[in-house]
Amino acid sequence: MTTSSPKPRRARKVLRGFANALIIAGALLLLDAFLTLVWEEPVSSTYAHFQQNELSGELDRLEKIPLTPVERKAIVKLPDPKKKLAFAARSLSRHTDDGDAVGRLRIDRIGLNTVFLEGTDANDLRRGPGHYPSTVLPGQRGTVAIAGHRTTYGAPFRKVDKVRSGDDIVVTMPYGRFTYRVERTRIVQPTDVWVVDNRSFDRLVLTACHPLYSAAQRIVVFARLVKSDPRGSAR
């Protein structure tokens, strides 16, 4: 009478465990791919969610920081509300670095309400939409430009292609609330840097990769400033 050796039994058990692990890993990969297609990439989106909570806290603290005595004395002497807004915008620009929260972006059409930060490099955009440092902040004359992801890291601009002409985009800064009205959307090449050039009027430009799951082109939303309301230090 013969009996099977303990070693082959242990080997078969290890192989079965390894095969089950591969099946589970494959199922998780398929689930991740499915969620990315119908919604957004879940792992990086979880990271972005925590980053947004941190940025919200930073923005709350930023709104409570008063102007310096010199800045306060200077802004009081400005009679024009638009000049007060421009002064407050320049002040914020001087006191923020890449990666710092600077404002909140809201687009009701696509259900977007998110904090954006200064900077557009890879690390910045993992935390949320980023303001192009080469462009002005709301309240200053010129073009305000903000970039964001569409499929990863919370995908804040995933539905930006659903924005329509006439929609309002509201940007809330510590010193003011700015309403922009969408004029048009265009698909351009990544090399078309003219989209953030200044015009003879104040405007907002939103940029993101296009189409979904590709960086071959850029989708750009152009909106014109229609209203500005001072708040905080500019009020």
**Residue 219, both tokens:** 């989708």
Lookup result for tokens 């089950």: 20
| Selection from 162, 36, 52 nearest residue 105 by Cα | 52
Q: Cα separation of 218 and 192, whole Å? A: 9
Q: Cα separation of 55 and 8, whole Å? A: 56
128 in helix, strand or coil?
coil
The helices-and-strands tally (H runs, E runs) of the chain is 5, 8
CA terminus-to-terminus distance, the chain: 96
Are residues 163 and 183 in contact, defined by beta-carbon separation less than 8 angstroms?
Answer: no
Q: Cα separation of 99 and 128, whole Å? A: 10
Q: Cα separation of 129 and 160, whole Å? A: 12
Which spans in 96-207 are helix H? 122-125
State the catalytic residues.
149, 209
